[in-house]
Chain A
């Protein structure tokens, strides 16, 4: 009995170790050599631990961003505190998330094997974030003492179904975009992609294809996620800082005092770049463990499911309509700024328009919107993306997981999670 308790605590209860074991098994199944097995296992464990460190950096920057914009809009309540936070959440529930990811993937493989939905979901970082956010919603509703195996079982069933059906839903349009039936979309932007296609069909003109126009090459920097994050957050922090500087309120003085000797505007820009740095750290961590996990997953899937189609990350659609990607982003930028102001002025919510989410999702919506509605479809798809993300983030941070990981939901929660989040919440209330 002691042995079981020891294993439960130290292996299943220590997510980094559990993840290390799953990757170890995956690498052994692929018959990798000793050197590859050792480096892969360690990189997976270290990668997972890095995520918590990056999350701390992001919070430290958001700790200026939120009060600063609250001051600008004159909002008084201090909601941004008292949550568990990504690092502590990973320590407590990371094992359940890790196991649910692995079991959910096996369900995806089984469904692909035995049904006509032959899609294998391979976008590993989104597998991790989606499962994490949904785990947060369940813990919010069921409490921190939710039974471990019940949590794992529910999440793996839900994720397995989502990973199988989401690519199936987008595939009819993917066939039109790619011109063949070889690859599928496996990404949490599916809902806004479909929304973009729908809006394009209603209000666009398919003949006015975005790829007929020439866009300025000065938009090339959009390809580097670190640069767009730093630039856009830099502008928002700077505008917020200037507006706070012109106010003489006690709140404004308190914020400016936090900069110490440093000029408040310089301090704010450094915080914006710190935010971008935090995201880069988290992504590095995710890359380190997903990079070991996904090849193992693919190895398993291709052996078991003949004729399986890989469901892949959203950049797979970019080459088919690069202009639509840019148009979608322009649409989302207009929407994000509009909703930042509207949400701030009306319901008093400070929207964090993270460019990684907005860029990749509006790109999907742009490409899908263009196939049905040309230029107008792409722009509308982008605008719809900002709308879903802004209101989705508000609902998620305020209602669906205010006590668990709202910090993560502000920058890592995606369109599909906002659409499915309320369903997860409802099911959690019924079942837990």
Chain B
């Protein structure tokens, strides 16, 4: 199963909302994946297939194996859907 990380600076509230919105998109698209929300430090030491985060944090996460997808508005399900569609 694919693993997706939802990342924000503290890994608490914002990334959790992002995670819930990603899960909503995944279930609409019928894709099975495990989504976890973490802070940016933890994310850089974790393995995953895909990392979803903001543009500002993406720079810190480019070096890993995972592909990094940036989303401007974590609450815009449509934006998340189009960002994810290229990678699912």
- A residues at B contact (CB < 8 Å): 122-126, 182-183, 187, 220, 223-227, 280, 283-284, 286-287, 290-291, 294-295, 298, 310, 312-316, 319, 322, 356, 360
**Residues of B with C-beta under 8 A to A126:** 13
- For B11, the chain A residues whose CB sits under 8 A away are 283, 287
Q: Is the CB of A316 within 8 A of B16?
A: no
The B5-54 residues at the A interface (CB cut-off 8 A) are 8-14, 16-17, 19-20, 23, 37-42, 54
- Among A224, A287, A298, point to the contact of B20 (Cβ < 8 A): A298
On whether A182 and B75 interact (CB within 8 A), knowing A125-B13, A225-B10, A319-B54, the answer reads yes
8 contacts between A and B (CB under 8 A): A123-B12, A220-B60, A224-B9, A283-B39, A287-B11, A291-B37, A310-B17, A312-B75
Chain B: interface residue count, which band? Answer: 20 to 34
Are A223 and B75 within 8 A (Cβ)?
no
CA distance A310 to B38 in the complex (A): 21
Q: Is B63 part of the binding interface, using a Cβ–Cβ cutoff of 8 Å?
A: no
Q: Given contacts A223-B57, A286-B12, A316-B14, could you give 7 more A-B pairs where the C-beta distance is less than 8 Å?
A: A125-B12, A220-B56, A220-B59, A224-B60, A312-B14, A313-B13, A315-B8
Q: Which residues of A contact B41 (CB under 8 A)?
A: 224, 226-227, 280
Q: Chain A: which residue is nearest B36 at the CB level?
A: A291
- In the A-B complex, the 5 residue pairs with the smallest Cβ-Cβ separation, listed nearest first, are A313-B13, A315-B14, A226-B41, A125-B12, A123-B13
Interchain nearest-CB distance for A366 vs B (Å):
15
Is the CB–CB distance between A313 and B17 below 8 Å?
A: yes
Cβ contact of A313, chosen from B12, B19, B54, B59, cutoff 8 A: B12
The interface centre, meaning the residue of A182, A226, A314 with most chain B CB atoms within 10 A of its CB, is A226
- Indicate if the CB atoms of B20 and A295 lie closer than 8 Å: yes
A224: chain B residues at CB < 8 Å are 9, 39-41, 60
Are B73 and A312 interface neighbours, CB within 8 A? no
- What's the least CB distance linking A383 to chain B, in Å? 22
Q: A182-B75, A220-B59, A319-B73 are in contact. Are A225 and B13 (CB under 8 A)?
A: no
Given contacts A223-B9, A356-B10, contact A312 B38 (CB under 8 A): no
Q: Which of B17, B42, B72 has the most CB of A within 10 A?
A: B17
Q: How many angstroms between the C-alpha atoms of A316 and B74 in the bound complex?
A: 8
Q: A291 near B9 (CB under 8 angstroms)?
A: no
Report whether B56 and A322 are in contact in the complex, using a CB–CB cutoff of 8 Å. yes
- Residue pair A287, B14 in contact (C-beta under 8 Å): no
Residue of A nearest to B40 (CB): A224
A287 to B10 CA separation, bound complex (whole angstroms): 10
Which residues of chain B are within 8 angstroms of A280 by Cβ–Cβ distance? 41
- CB proximity of B50 to chain A, nearest CB, Å: 18
- Which residue on chain B has the smallest CB distance to residue A221? B60
Q: Could you tell me the distance between the alpha carbons of A156 and B17 in the complex, rounded to whole angstroms?
A: 24
Given A226-B39, A312-B75, are A283 and B20 neighbors across the interface (CB < 8 Å)?
no
Which residues of the other chain, A, contact B54 by a CB distance below 8 angstroms? 319
Chain A residue nearest to B19 in the complex (CB)? A291
Most buried by A among B16, B56, B74: B16
Contact A294-B72, Cβ < 8 Å, known A315-B8, A356-B10: no
Cα distance A290–B59 in the bound complex, in angstroms: 27
A125 to B14, CA, bound (A): 11
Closest to B44 in A: A224
Please give the distance in Å from B36's CB to the nearest CB on chain A: 8
